[in-house]
């Protein structure tokens, strides 16, 4: 099957109240972050932290090993991660990006060919490499179908090597986007079912399938939003999956902006697009995500795998004008800013700093 690179995108029952204000329950009450800490005292100059590892210090420590082709630290990190699927998915995904330009994973496979973690990381790394090759070739370029098929086989081999691990199935849902016309619905459904059998609320897998169904790839805005809203509605309380709806809104924005730029125009030329982030449904869905996720989030510090997702909701709350929500979210994040989604609307660090100041100044 020939494959064509279509875009350079990356490497979801209503319990709302009637007030329109965020329901400050769950973690919001338990963490005591609803107050405006630091406002009464003098705060030093705020410096956002654009850490690609989102505060995962153990992950950051092994990046130096990867850069010089050493794999032992990576092996030890993944063994220590165990079957904490959200943390493991986060780590494998970021390790794959770090390893894609090195020979570290190949060295590990050569030294320990029977290590299942090495197979999983190698498959994820191949997915990153094939996306990098597609991006380098340029929009509309054909991706070598043999290379795609080889990557799929690496993912399936990793799934056999570590049967309980959801990550090989996340990798398959990711590489599926690069096939021209997508993969067959039966194949996609099988991969999706295998992922959900292992980790039914795997956020990264949901994000990858959302992008598959987006208009930027093999679906439409409607199919993408349907998927996001269905997943959000089925998510248990405190699960981050409701933020899929805000991720979908970012994907729609990227599609419209890309189209406008392709015609030599800016996004402001699209009729009604100035309301994209703040029309009634967009604002309502920010509130729903807040209530379903943040309102029932378990107490405790923000985990590294939550940071980018929290940035998506924070960005949405800011651009929807819900600064009282954004203030609490900034409190959870501290200085941790992720490149996405802020980079799609400007400079990430500048926006994060500016919106944080505005949210903290909200009466």
Q: What is the DSSP string of 116-156?
A: HHHHHHHHHHHHHHHHHHHHHH-TTPEE-HHHHHHHHHHHH
pLDDT value of position 270: 66
Residue 244 · residue 308 · CB < 8 Å: no
When pLDDT is averaged across residues 308-327 and rounded to a whole number, the result is 98
Q: Give which of 295, 218, 221 is closest to 254, Cα–Cα.
A: 221
Among 167, 201, 235, give the residue marking a domain's end.
201
pLDDT band (50, 70, 90) for residue 34: very low
Same domain, 197 and 264: no
Q: Which of 66-70, 157-161, 318-322, 342-346 has the lowest mean pLDDT?
A: 66-70
Same domain, 218 and 362: yes
Any domain includes 274: yes
Q: Give which of 278, 363, 288, 290 is closest to 318, Cα–Cα.
A: 278
Same domain, 141 and 275: no
Any domain includes 35: yes
Asked whether residue 259 carries a pLDDT value surpassing 90, the answer given is no
pLDDT tens track for 75-117: 999 999 999 999 999 999 999 999 999 999 999 999 999 999 9
Phi, psi of 260 (to 5 degrees): -65, -45
Same domain, 91 and 232: no
Q: Which of 52-66, 164-178, 182-196 has the lowest mean pLDDT?
A: 52-66
Any domain includes 354: yes
How far apart CA 293 and CA 263 sit, in angstroms, is 39
Same domain, 43 and 113: no
- What are the angstrom distances between the C-alpha of 29 and each of 16, 323, 356? 17, 18, 20
pLDDT value of position 114: 97
| Residue 133 vs residue 33, higher pLDDT | 133
**Does the predicted TM-score (pTM) go above 0.95?**
no
How far apart CA 126 and CA 96 sit, in angstroms, is 8
Q: Which of 5-14, 155-164, 241-250 has the lowest mean pLDDT?
A: 5-14
How far apart CA 47 and CA 353 sit, in angstroms, is 8
pLDDT band (50, 70, 90) for residue 14: very low
SS3 303: coil
Phi, psi of 266 (to 5 degrees): -95, 170
| Residue 23 vs residue 308, higher pLDDT | 308
pLDDT band (50, 70, 90) for residue 271: low
How far apart CA 84 and CA 234 sit, in angstroms, is 22
When pLDDT is averaged across residues 285-292 and rounded to a whole number, the result is 98
Please report, to the nearest 10 degrees, the dihedral formed by the alpha carbons of residues 300, 361, 295, 221 taken in order: -110
Any domain includes 286: yes
Task: Name, in order, each residue with C-beta under 8 angstroms of 76's C-beta and a sequence gap of 6 or more.
Answer: none
Among 201, 235, 259, give the residue marking a domain's end.
201
pLDDT band (50, 70, 90) for residue 69: confident
pLDDT value of position 264: 63
Neighbours of 185 (CB within 10 A): 8
Same domain, 122 and 167: yes
Q: Give which of 340, 342, 361, 362 is closest to 352, Cα–Cα.
A: 342
Domain count for the chain: 2
Q: How many CA atoms lie within 13 A of 232 on its CB side?
A: 27
- What are the angstrom distances between the C-alpha of 90 and each of 76, 95, 160, 218? 16, 9, 21, 25
Among 145, 169, 201, give the residue marking a domain's end.
201
Any domain includes 289: yes
pLDDT value of position 22: 38
pLDDT band (50, 70, 90) for residue 266: low
Same domain, 45 and 60: no
Same domain, 159 and 227: no
How far apart CA 173 and CA 187 sit, in angstroms, is 10
pLDDT tens track for 196-253: 999 999 999 999 999 999 999 999 999 999 999 999 999 999 999 999 999 999 999 9
When pLDDT is averaged across residues 37-66 and rounded to a whole number, the result is 80
Domain that holds residue 80: 56-201
How far apart CA 5 and CA 118 sit, in angstroms, is 28
Task: Name, in order, each residue with C-beta under 8 angstroms of 149's C-beta and a sequence gap of 6 or more.
Answer: none
Residue 299 · residue 31 · CB < 8 Å: yes
Averaged pLDDT of the chain: 88
Same domain, 177 and 240: no
pLDDT value of position 147: 97
Same domain, 187 and 67: yes
Same domain, 130 and 38: no
Same domain, 356 and 232: yes
């Amino acid at each position: 099957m020939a494959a064509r690179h279509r875009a350079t995108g990356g490497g979801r029952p209503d319990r709302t109240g009637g007030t329109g204000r965020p329901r400050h329950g769950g973690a919001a009450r338990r963490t005591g972050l609803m107050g405006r800490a630091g406002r009464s005292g003098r705060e030093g100059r705020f410096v956002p932290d654009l850490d690609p590892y989102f505060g995962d210090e153990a992950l950051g420590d092994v990046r130096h090993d990867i850069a010089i082709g050493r794999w032992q630290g990576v092996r030890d990190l993944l063994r220590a991660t165990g079957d904490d699927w959200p943390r493991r998915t986060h780590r494998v995904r970021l390790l794959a990006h770090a390893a894609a330009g090195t020979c570290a994973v190949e060295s590990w496979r050569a030294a320990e060919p029977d290590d299942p973690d090495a197979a999983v990381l190698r498959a994820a790394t191949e997915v990153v490499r094939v996306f990098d090759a597609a991006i380098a070739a340029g929009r509309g370029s054909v991706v070598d179908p043999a290379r795609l098929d080889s990557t799929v086989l690496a993912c399936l081999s990793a799934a056999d090597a570590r049967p309980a691990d959801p990550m090989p199935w996340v990798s398959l849902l990711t590489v599926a986007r690069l096939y021209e016309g997508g993969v067959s619905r039966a194949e996609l459904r099988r991969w999706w079912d295998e992922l959900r059998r292992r980790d039914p609320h795997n956020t990264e897998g949901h994000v990858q399938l959302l992008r598959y169904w987006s208009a930027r790839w093999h679906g439409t805005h409607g199919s993408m939003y349907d998927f996001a809203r269905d997943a959000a509605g089925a998510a248990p309380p405190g699960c981050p999956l409701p933020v899929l709806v805000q991720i979908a809104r970012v994907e729609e924005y990227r599609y419209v902006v890309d189209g406008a730029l392709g015609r030599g125009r800016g996004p402001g030329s699209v009729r009604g697009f100035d309301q994209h982030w703040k029309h009634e449904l967009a604002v309502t869905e920010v509130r729903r995500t807040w209530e379903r996720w943040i309102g029932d989030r378990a107490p405790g510090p923000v985990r590294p795998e939550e940071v980018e997702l929290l940035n998506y909701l924070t960005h949405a709350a800011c651009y929807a004008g819900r600064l009282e929500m954004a203030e609490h979210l900034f409190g959870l994040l501290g200085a941790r800013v992720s490149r996405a989604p802020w980079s799609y609307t400007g400079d990430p660090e500048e926006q994060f700093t500016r919106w944080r100041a505005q949210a903290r100044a909200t009466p």
